[in-house]
Amino acid sequence: MAVTGVLRPGFIQIRVMDLGEGIVHYRDNLGLDLVSQDGEVAFLKAYDEFDRHSVVLRQADEAGLDVLGFKVLTEEALTVFAKRLKGIGVETAIVPAGAYPGVGRRVRFSIPTGHTIELYSEMELSGNGPQTKNPDIWRHEPRGMRISRFDHCAVLGVDIAASAEIFEKALDFVVTERATDPEGNAIAIFLTCSNKAHDIAFLTGPADAKLHHASFLVESWNDVGHACDLIAQRNISLDIGPTRHGITRGQTVYFFDPSGNRNECFAGGYQHYPDNPVREWTVDQMGKAIFYYEKEVHDRFTSVMT
């Protein structure tokens, strides 16, 4: 599948209530590299990412999600997407180049679920990214949970169908899986801009602008197990896992950062192609859809959000 237009989730900016604790968690537990710190904002990246950073931590009074950024192929594509957003009635704003270190101009907009989304095409390459000439599999031995990249994000809000529609109409995302209630209303929508099972997921929730989890890719089921070992050894707050999803087929463990933001280590998942039909789930099978082995969803997974 040729990936053009929107390439992938590029960065996530997360609010933490203690920046020092947040840096220790994402650097030492997940294994990200601390790229830089500017006052109350820190920038980090995973070992297998070429770009300067993929995780931004901001000191704040409450936890949650500030912004989710998607990288697009070119500056020309960025201009086209801005016009397409305006064409369907979505107001946009421009964040100038250099507002954050190493990042070009960004197109910012809000979606009906209250989340802030940004598109950008330019980010400096990391000086510590993957090798490109006679490359080893990694430049330095991975640490902690051995996160290879920021993978996707799941967000909660009331009108998830309207938010998903913006991603479909203006940004060329496609729906890979959907769960509906008996009246046919969407309660979960999974979309991709690539051939991954999902690049963003919208989940129905009682309030807007909420983060369900930020997900980080690890190589294998064995690495999910390794993450669980560290969660136990280091007394990291566990949500659930190791287990597997029915939706996406991904192997997973969920846990919390010190501020209460939910993290996920994710491996596997199927490949999606444009000619694939949408996979549909009914509400009576949501236990199996979310946790394939347990076939039930515990209260914390649906009630805890930031």
Catalytic residue positions, numbered = 152, 198, 213, 245, 254, 264
Asked whether 107 and 85 are in contact (CB, 8 A), the reply is yes
Q: Which of 15, 29, 22 is nearest to 236 (CA)?
A: 29
Phi then psi dihedrals of residue 126, to 5 deg: -75, 145
Asked whether 63 and 304 are in contact (CB, 8 A), the reply is no
Asked whether 259 and 63 are in contact (CB, 8 A), the reply is yes
Phi then psi dihedrals of residue 55, to 5 deg: -125, 125
What's the one-letter identity of residue 135? P
Residue located via tokens 């590029």: 10
Q: Report d(CA 15, CA 32) in Å as an integer.
A: 17
Enter the tokens of residue 252: 């997973």
CA 5 to each of CA 74, 150, 183: distance values in angstroms, whole numbers, following the listed order: 8, 19, 34
